[in-house]
Structure 1
């Protein structure tokens, strides 16, 4: 293989990956639990950007249930965003699983 060609392809992929990382930062996914009483929004950088809690979910005598709902919604949102990132990275890499890319 031609080394110049390989280097050029690597640079092109790196450029595409940088653009994709920027795009993913702007994309979000939501996950709701408890019939929609708790909704968590996570961006493509896997940062929690919003938590919405319906007032009915706030029971001072049962804070543990609210904590569990928040955890469940956060974990589901993280799974969804990871699936989104994996799908988009798969499109970029042609389905190759390259460890450490995200």
Structure 2
């Protein structure tokens, strides 16, 4: 493969990456914990946009439990974003000659 062709592929990959990042920012993922008692909606750029806490959790007045469930729900949504981003990046790299042992 010649250097010119590699540069063209790299430029296209940069353009595709910008498109992917814009798509990711618009994407919505959901995380939940406690059997759905706590739910969060997060965008693909990892901004939490909505939190839903079941009213029964407030009645229990267990601050620690609510905090733990919030953390678990946010972590689940965040992991979904990371997994989706990794899958999309693999698609962008398809066909690119990578050095042995290199992975995303």
Please state which band the TM-score falls in when normalised by the shorter chain: 0.7 to 0.9
Number of aligned pairs?
98
Deviates more, 1:56-65 or 1:36-45: 56-65
Gaps of 5+ in 1: none
Which portions of structure 1, spanning 4 or more consecutive aligned residues, are displaced by more than 3 angstroms?
Answer: none
Gaps of 5+ in 2: 96-101
Aligned-partner SS, 1:29: strand
1:97 aligns with one of 81, 92, 103: 103
TM-score normalised according to structure 2 size? 0.83
In the other structure, the counterpart of 2:99 is none
In the other structure, the counterpart of 1:53 is 53
In the other structure, the counterpart of 2:30 is 30
Deviates more, 1:65-74 or 1:51-60: 51-60
TM-score normalised according to structure 1 size? 0.84
Aligned-partner SS, 2:59: coil
In the other structure, the counterpart of 2:77 is 77
**CA-atom RMSD in angstroms:** 1.8
In the other structure, the counterpart of 2:19 is 19
Q: Deviations over 1:9-63 (max 9, x none)?
A: 1111100010000001011110111121100112111222221112122136311
Q: CA–CA distance in 2 between the matches of 1:57 and 1:76?
A: 19
